[in-house]
Structure 1
Amino acid sequence: MNVFGLHTFAIAPVWDLDLIEPQMERLKELGIGLLEIPLLRPEEIDTKQTRAFAERQGIELIPSLGLPRALDVVERPDEALAFLEPAFGVCEAVGSTALGGVTYGTIGKTSGRAPTTAEIDGMCRFLGRAAKAAKAHGLKLGIEPCNRYETHLINRGIDAAKIIERVGAGNVFIHLDTYHMHIEEESFAAGFAAAAPFLGYVHVSEANRGVPGRGMLNWRACMKAIADIGYRGAITLESMNHVDVDIAGGLAVWRPVAEDPRDVIEVGLPFLRDAARHAGLTLG
């Protein structure tokens, strides 16, 4: 069985328990056992309240983030590490075991060229230091390959695997996202196979970030590829139904991703569970 997760952008633009908790009964009926916290501004998270909520609801939590645009992991790694430190503290305080997302760069920030040797070298040095800092908090650190329009640093599963091999830290994992894979990978089978040795987290997201099953993503091929590698980690729906202004620009989200936002949950979650079942996977 794979834990079935939901990125809370599907139901709220920020981590707001007054909005989220009233929806938990229905989400658990649909199989959700994990919530992903968008950790855009770590200082805004009430960690005691959040941990109590998770314990009360019996769910797992995993925060994720993309580094702010002002940071540069190559030229000014100390500043980026200083931003991550309180994020790691939040993860530990809410009872999570990992931090995922674009922890190696900024969503929406590209050079328009292939990464240089200096950029790769600097990013690897930074990730080595970040992994060590995460380990001090008892955490794993995820790196999420993103499409070429959002970053030029890590785009495919194989790119992430090579970075992890080079960094050599045992607590760094790959965080794949089917939205990005749909753009960058030759196939879901190839992408998941390349990432398999280090795969620790999966976002399932429709090709238009909307309602799963109502876009162009090949869900049969996607779920089969996940099943074929024997992946047993979390599978989390990410839909940009409600997006905080600090990240909307980087994601190029300027219009609703679904005509009826409720369909992301009421149609999308059952669709994903059914697609997974046909591939031999059980979500939730």
Structure 2
Amino acid sequence: MIAFKWWERVTEWLKENRQYEQIRYFHEFWEKNWAADHIKYVKKAADLGYDILEFQAQPLLEMNESRMSEIKKPADDVGIELTYSLGLDKKYDITSADESTRRGGIEYLKAIVERVAFMKGEIISGVSYEGWGSPNHIIDDKSKMLDRSVTAMQEIVKTAADYGVTYCVESVNRFEATIINTAVEAVEYVKMVGSDNVGVLLDTYHMNIEESSMGDAIRYAGDYLKSFHTGENNRLPPGRGHLDWDEIFKAFSDINYTGRIVCEPFVQMGGEVGRDIKVWRNLLEDTSEANLDKEAKGLLEFQKKMAEKYA
């Protein structure tokens, strides 16, 4: 996944031709499985000209402090910021009616936040407010699920606040989550939690399914929007599908958005990534590492131009 960040003084930096780009757990652009050599992709991110790498947060729980430090040091050496994301396993579902499942989820997510803090991470995002994936049972009313999630999240974000971590809830499509599918639902959730350490993450791939207007959704999220994912309607990199990027970047300008912008291209079938993201064909004819590097650089230039246009 690829990303770039707009700093508070982006206009001045653009005038100086000093614009930074960021990368989010980009290994799945090349890899077919979730596990990766993090240090390799830290270096690749820097070589391609990006300045953030966001990777799955769950593996942090399997690392000791020595291993985490081994990843953090090369990132610091090349100026790569590390951020984190997750899709919550259903066995830790904090919307569950089963108290032991909810309690397990709370402790699990608090532990992840603590590991993110050890890595000096400032943000964690994703489908972390319920188990990732559509349910296999009938739901006629999701209000009780919502209430249970909010109550659990109020406890989790106390840990986030203690460590200065921002916990973003991602609005995703109806096939991947139940209680937050739109910007309106995401903002309402954040208001219910009532903490400065919880925010909204929107994603253009999901918005293309659920929102009537991407621009209006971004403007509605406003100051609650703390991170953003970009990706085409077909999971290709931005500029390779039918989404209106002028509408999207104009909306960023309208709300003076200064958070991260992250791209999630999934272009290869096969492996865990293809299975979980439902990629059943290669979306690029050439999926060699050299061509994927080229695509990554092209994406960087595309988003630079859009940022310059609406700075």
TM-score, normalisation: structure 2: 0.81
Kindly name which structure, 1 or 2, has the bigger radius of gyration based on alpha carbons.
Answer: 2
Aligned-partner SS, 1:170:
coil
Residue 274 of structure 1, CA deviation: 1.4
Residue 235 of structure 1, CA deviation: 1.1
Residue 158 of structure 1, CA deviation: 1.1
> In the TM superposition, what whole-angstrom CA distance separates every residue of 1:123-168 from its partner, at most 9, and x where no partner exists?
1111111111222332111100001111121011111111111111
Partners of 2:120 and 2:270 in 1: CA distance: 24
Name the amino acid aligned to 1:68. Answer: D
Q: 1:179 to 1:15 in 2, by over 3 A?
A: same
Q: 1:256 to 1:107 in 2, by over 3 A?
A: farther
- Equivalent positions of 1:37-52 (< 5 A) are 37-45=55-63, 46-52=67-73
Check the 8 A contact 2:187/2:224 in 1, yes or no. yes
Q: 1:169 to 1:223 in 2, by over 3 A?
A: same
Counterpart residue number, 2:133: 108
Q: Would you say 1:126 and 2:145 are equivalent positions?
A: no
Match of 2:52 among 17, 26, 34: 34
Structure 1 window deviating more from structure 2 (12-21 vs 230-239): it is 12-21
Counterpart residue number, 1:276: 307
Q: 1:271 to 1:114 in 2, by over 3 A?
A: farther
- Equivalent positions of 1:1-284 (< 5 A) are 1-2=6-7, 4-7=21-24, 8=26, 9-12=28-31, 13-28=34-49, 32-45=50-63, 46-74=67-95, 75=97, 76-110=101-135, 111=137, 113=139, 115-241=141-267, 248-261=274-287, 262=292, 263-280=294-311
Structure 1 window deviating more from structure 2 (147-156 vs 268-277): it is 268-277
Partners of 2:192 and 2:208 in 1: CA distance: 26
Partners of 1:42 and 1:14 in 2: CA distance: 12
> In the TM superposition, what whole-angstrom CA distance separates every residue of 1:68-105 from its partner, at most 9, and x where no partner exists?
12222123211111221331122112111121111102
Aligned-partner SS, 2:168:
strand
Aligned-partner SS, 1:141:
strand
Check the 8 A contact 1:203/1:235 in 2, yes or no. yes
Q: 1:42 to 1:243 in 2, by over 3 A?
A: farther
In the alignment, structure 1 segments of 5+ residues that lack a partner are none
Counterpart residue number, 2:11: none
Check the 8 A contact 1:141/1:173 in 2, yes or no. yes
Name the amino acid aligned to 2:159. Answer: A
Q: 1:243 to 1:21 in 2, by over 3 A?
A: farther
Residue 118 of structure 1, CA deviation: 0.9
Check the 8 A contact 1:51/1:94 in 2, yes or no. yes
Partners of 1:78 and 1:248 in 2: CA distance: 31
Residue 5 of structure 1, CA deviation: 2.3
User: Structure 1 vs Structure 2: percent identity of aligned residues?
Assistant: 26
Partners of 1:243 and 1:202 in 2: CA distance: 25
Partners of 1:63 and 1:114 in 2: CA distance: 33
In the alignment, structure 2 segments of 5+ residues that lack a partner are 1-5, 8-19
Aligned-partner SS, 2:69:
helix
Partners of 1:193 and 1:224 in 2: CA distance: 10
Bigger RCO of structures 1 and 2 (CA < 8 A, at least 6 apart): 1
